[in-house]
Structure 1
Amino acid sequence: MVTDKVARDALLFSLRGRAFSEMPNTLAIHSKYLCNSDISATSINIALDESQRSISPFLSFWDYHDAYRSHKTTPFEVAKLLIAKLKETNQSHWIRNFDEDSILTQAKESTDRYNRGESLGQLDGVFVSIKEEMSIKGFETKCGTNFIHDGEPAEEDSTVVKRLRAAGAIVGCQAVMNELGWDTFSVNPFTGTPKNPYISNHSCGGSSGGSGGSVASGLFPISIGADGGGSIRIPSSFCGVYGLKPTCGRVSAHGGEPVDPTLGVFGPLAATADDLALTYTIIAGPDPNDPLSLHQPPVSLKDYDLTETLAGVRIGILPDWHSDNSDEIFNERIEQVKAHLKQLGATIVTTSLPDIDLVGVAHSITICSEMSSYASSHTDTTSRFLPHTRLMMSVSKRLQGSDYVKAQQIRTRLMDQLHELFSGPMDLILTPTTGSQSPAIPPQAAAYGMSHATWTFRAMQYVTLANLTGIPALNVPAGFHNGLPVGLQFMASWWNEALLLRIAKIIERMPGLEKKTADSYIDCLTTA
């Protein structure tokens, strides 16, 4: 049977006959890192230091905020140009839906605040796109399908969207994604496949492909994606932008589709380190509507602007994991970045994870089981899914309950191994983000969809560890090769997003890494 072959090729049956002694765990937060949150502190109000602002060829929230404060333009004027650009770039398939009236109304309100000198903060009047698995009031949350919530627009915003609006951000655009997020290239005949702004026939990555493309194109400085198996970091890597997968439970999942509930998290993709950090502080924090978010310590940006030194910071390299398994350009960039970080005083530690070979299969079993469960809840419309989704549902049905339990036992084991590493020899782990750069998408995929197991494995081989174990992970742009972006990944211990964001700012300032926008980059600010 085709489904059996696909399942065997994906190693989904490889745990059968093996025994594990660990207790199964579906909470991807190590017990040593569980906290009791003050639910009254639902978010923090951090203003970044303008004297330490990001250095980037991309437009940042700084540029918008400065232009509005100085009255060079207004959010309303920028909104009119953005709407025109959204219509012009429709065939690039970054945005599925947008509400012109809502965007203009929010922009008018922001303009009035600036005119009164009552800005809500540094994100006021900044435009943000949202992956379409998060609810935006008035939009159908279709999650990449052509039927889920059809005729049932959301009656309220997700918590993430509420927090962005409270900070003055303008939200009114849904970014394109893979159907249900069940692959890494955002090939979607229903919505159109997002085009990479650097080379248009190449993938934006996925499943948050529209988010990556909408930021790399210049339409938005920030987008909110979701990451259950690299779905923030892969498009960030393919599109040359920053992407943060927060710790499990750091950002509220309330108002999002429960596609892969023990693996998936919401987080930002951004043009600059500062856009990433500011957005993170706004959307993170406990939420009474999401019990999982109540286990976290306070959100902070500790030492964010401490970019001249990394003294005392230990960075782990796992050469056995990536040296022979990724394109050579990634190993070259890792060596280049290592040399720079050592110059800043970091200690480079060569290490290993004893059971790293089990990560991929445990993650695959977990995510296929959970996504199939979500998809199967739409039993009356299963035939309306794309062929790739139906194939993966059939493959997932070959799994047994014991497969899922063993995968969760492996989760426990790997969490224990990471806790030991982060408690001892290291603070960060550095790897490639993906095993290859963005591939060219075959033209016929636009009409029929695509399933390419080898490409998917290469895209996901370094990202699933963070999803399975719940630790935070970051993609940083690391220059270009053959005209396409190269991305590197840093991972930290649970709740240590502050160190990752500090690293993002350090790499952003690193000499010798090419930084450029696409030739088709869209400037919606200075021409407004």
Structure 2
Amino acid sequence: MHELGLDTSNNNPNFGTPRNPHNPNYYTGGSSGGSGYAVGAGIVPIALGADGGGSIRIPSSFCGIYGLKTTHGRVSGSPTRGLATTTGVFGPMTSSLDDLDMSYRIMSSPDPDHVTSSSFPDPASATAATARPKIIGVYQEWVKRSDPAVLSLFNRAMDYYRTQQNYEIIDITIPYIPQGQKAHALTILSEIASGISKEDISQLSAPNRVLVSSGNSQVSARDFFAAQKLRSLLMSHLAFLFKKYPGMVIATPTLPIAGWQISPGGADLTHGVSDVNTSLRTMEYVYLANFSGCPAISCPMGYAEDTKLPVGIMGMSEWGSEWALIEWGRDGEGLLDTDEDVSVDSNGTANGGEAAVVVSKGLRTPSVQSGGKWVDAIGLAKNNNAGGNS
């Protein structure tokens, strides 16, 4: 993972940086990039992720897997000491929605020694709802900040949900989105920095020494409390939206970009990387779930032709509604089962040059022929068993 979980590339010059299993010239995304790689490359079907600013959903999107950022406090992290106490959560990263459902049931079992986890109902007693609202909220102005290839895939996904799954798509607005992202960044940086001693700072990589030192010395109490006032406003507005539209899922692309390229020559892999603009860009949509405490899911929705990387769609819903998000993800599985095999390039156009309306057929495994990494773990296990029996 990224050192301290303090960035979204998953660059780690200390212990090595996993490359994206679909394209080795790109990062996995982070900070739970090792988990994203392990699942995306087929090594394991389920991995643990931690998410304070998209760290489950960002690598899930870049690696073409499923990731669930849980409601704040729902999954106990004991005995781990959390650095981002008001923004960070734990959740599953998996190769399928069935695995996501199963692993979430296990992880979210109430911990009697955890003050918030123990307050949630036991998932073992949960039953599927006989009917649920099919409403998707889209803040168009926000969504349009995506790159063309991502926006094209997202618009296609909305068409699919509306025409094939009978969802109602409604326009919503959320105030202070850009300001909220800055307030979230200030909050999580302050929280992480406050838990690191001056002696430990000297042991960090150069980019993180700068970040942590800034969090300790550049953020005033006035700034921090102003950020929390904005946080309360955003949470109140989301509560209003969820009350007005019960069961609504707020949909965005998981990321506004289709990949984060490793520097040519790989110098960043040796010395680390500090690219604040791209870091903030990758948190464009994911931050709000961390700042508000709402649950959010990332699911694959297509592929960008020029990067060969998966592109994810994200749904965020009311506090405690993880089951509804998993079912929403199931409703979208058909996005990858179209009749044609077409991908979009960075301009949002299809291979033939026309506006892209469909993408690849089925969920892709990384192409070894194109430099990707894929481990057939089941095949290896079968071969090992056969060898042991012979």
**TM-score (normalised: structure 1):** 0.63
Task: Tell me by how many angstroms 1:342 deviates.
Answer: 1.3
The aligned residue for residue 355 of structure 2 is none
SS at match of 1:247: coil
Task: Tell me by how many angstroms 1:405 deviates.
Answer: 1.1
Task: Tell me by how many angstroms 1:394 deviates.
Answer: 2.1
SS at match of 1:206: coil
The aligned residue for residue 524 of structure 1 is 377
Once the two structures are superposed, residues 441-500 of structure 1 have per-residue CA deviations (whole angstroms, 9 ceiling, x without a partner) of 111011110000111111111001000000000101011112111011100100000110
Stretch deviating more after TM superposition (290-299 or 331-340):
290-299
**TM-score (normalised: structure 2):** 0.85
Change in CA separation of 1:337 and 1:473 when aligned onto 2, cut-off 3 Å: same
Measured in 2, the distance between the counterparts of 1:527 and 1:245 equals: 31
**Structure 2: any 5+ residue segments left out of the alignment?**
339-358, 368-372, 382-390
Aligned residue type for 1:254 = S
The aligned residue for residue 347 of structure 2 is none
SS at match of 2:19: coil
Task: Tell me by how many angstroms 1:230 deviates.
Answer: 0.1
SS at match of 2:27: coil
Task: Tell me by how many angstroms 1:302 deviates.
Answer: 4.7
**Structure 1: any 5+ residue segments left out of the alignment?**
1-176
Change in CA separation of 1:346 and 1:435 when aligned onto 2, cut-off 3 Å: same
The aligned residue for residue 503 of structure 1 is 328
* RMSD after superposition: 1.6
Measured in 1, the distance between the counterparts of 2:11 and 2:27 equals: 8
CA contact (8 A) 1:466 1:472 kept: yes
1:285 aligns with 2:109: yes
Structure with larger Rg: 1
The aligned residue for residue 109 of structure 1 is none
Measured in 1, the distance between the counterparts of 2:151 and 2:81 equals: 37
Measured in 1, the distance between the counterparts of 2:53 and 2:221 equals: 21
Task: Tell me by how many angstroms 1:382 deviates.
Answer: 2.2
Change in CA separation of 1:347 and 1:524 when aligned onto 2, cut-off 3 Å: same
CA contact (8 A) 1:228 1:467 kept: yes
The aligned residue for residue 161 of structure 1 is none
Once the two structures are superposed, residues 285-329 of structure 1 have per-residue CA deviations (whole angstroms, 9 ceiling, x without a partner) of 32122212133244366548x8xxx87311100011121x11112
Task: Tell me by how many angstroms 1:265 deviates.
Answer: 0.4
SS at match of 2:195: helix
The aligned residue for residue 436 of structure 1 is 257
1:419 aligns with 2:242: no
CA contact (8 A) 1:312 1:347 kept: no
CA contact (8 A) 1:245 1:266 kept: yes
Measured in 1, the distance between the counterparts of 2:105 and 2:274 equals: 37
Measured in 1, the distance between the counterparts of 2:108 and 2:260 equals: 33
CA contact (8 A) 2:149 2:258 kept: no
Q: 2:151 aligns with which of 331, 355, 359?
A: 331
CA contact (8 A) 2:137 2:172 kept: yes
SS at match of 1:211: helix
Residue identity over aligned pairs, in percent, reads 37
Once the two structures are superposed, residues 235-294 of structure 1 have per-residue CA deviations (whole angstroms, 9 ceiling, x without a partner) of 000101000000001100212232101100000000001011100001103212221213
Q: 2:199 aligns with which of 380, 397, 409?
A: 380
1:275 aligns with 2:99: yes
1:492 aligns with 2:317: yes
Measured in 1, the distance between the counterparts of 2:279 and 2:310 equals: 18
The aligned residue for residue 297 of structure 2 is 474
Q: 2:50 aligns with which of 213, 218, 226?
A: 226
The aligned residue for residue 340 of structure 1 is 160
